[in-house]
Amino acid sequence: MALGCGGTLGKVFLILINIIFFLLGLGLLIVGALMKANVKIVTDEVKPALNTVTVSSYKLGDLADNLSVVFIVIGVFIFIVAGLGLFGACCQNRCMLVTYAILVLILFIAKIAAIALWFTMQGEVEDKVKNEMLTSLQTHFTDDSVDTGSEVSRSWNYMFMTLDCCAINKVTSGTNDFDQSPWCTATGKSCKDSSAEVPRTCCVGVVASTYTAATAPCTTGVSGYNTMGCYDALKAEIDSYSTPVIGVGITILVIELLAVIFAFVICKQTEL
């Protein structure tokens, strides 16, 4: 059966829309690949510290590490759905179009629900993560060294150097988050037994091979140390990817809505 004007217009739009879906799927694949390759917060050295923080029973380190995989999987799924829509529109296959429309509608509703849930719980989740990070630091940080202390303590030191941060909250003076940590409360540690106020790994520009040479005025908390807290540094690292992800996400929502409408228009004018 020949399509009417509305059906023909819908077919053309549906083909164009699914070509865009292909491109958007590629965009998510690229974002996911870039995150997998470049995000510094999920290195093996840093992950043990992040895994002491849980979000809805998920370890933060594993969650951050797998975020890129989620984007890659979504990108692949969009490719598959777009192919279903293209085939259904080009061949005017009603079964394909109905399946395609249902899948896209489910995705649309799920994304709206996820966005609403995130904006509702964002503040609560961020506060919980920050508090758990602080608890972890004050419980597990025992030494300003990547060679001694527990695995989690060494991981915190790697995080300070990797993210150019220090402690959890911004360090503005000698009174800071380390005061309640074993590094400052246990006998034999440089914080308790000397004038050290911040770890050597918090000094500006140090890496694993050079931090041992760091001395005052950095370690005495006078100057030369990273003042940004690791919570803010971690959040900034993730937020750097939020703009392209949000842009792609909003565009996909609009396209999904149009795709459902045009799929049903073609179905209505197509024989069984």
Residue 270 dihedral angles phi and psi, to the nearest 5°? -110, 140
Residue 95 dihedral angles phi and psi, to the nearest 5°? -60, -45
pLDDT tens track for 110-143: 878 877 776 776 777 788 889 989 999 999 998 8
For residues 258 and 237, is the Cβ–Cβ distance under 8 A? Answer: no
Q: Which two tokens stand for residue 214?
A: 């760091």
pTM listed for this prediction: 0.67
The dihedral region occupied by 92, where left means phi > 0, alpha psi between -120 and 50, and beta the remainder, is: left
pLDDT tens track for 4-42: 666 677 778 788 888 877 787 788 778 777 776 765 556
Q: Which amino acid is at 55?
A: V
Convert 25-44 into a string of H (helix), E (strand) and C (coil): HHHHHHHHHHHHHHCHHHCC
pLDDT score for 179: 87
pLDDT score for 251: 80
pLDDT score for 40: 52
Q: Residue count of the chain, please give it.
A: 272
Residue 177 has what DSSP assignment?
Answer: G
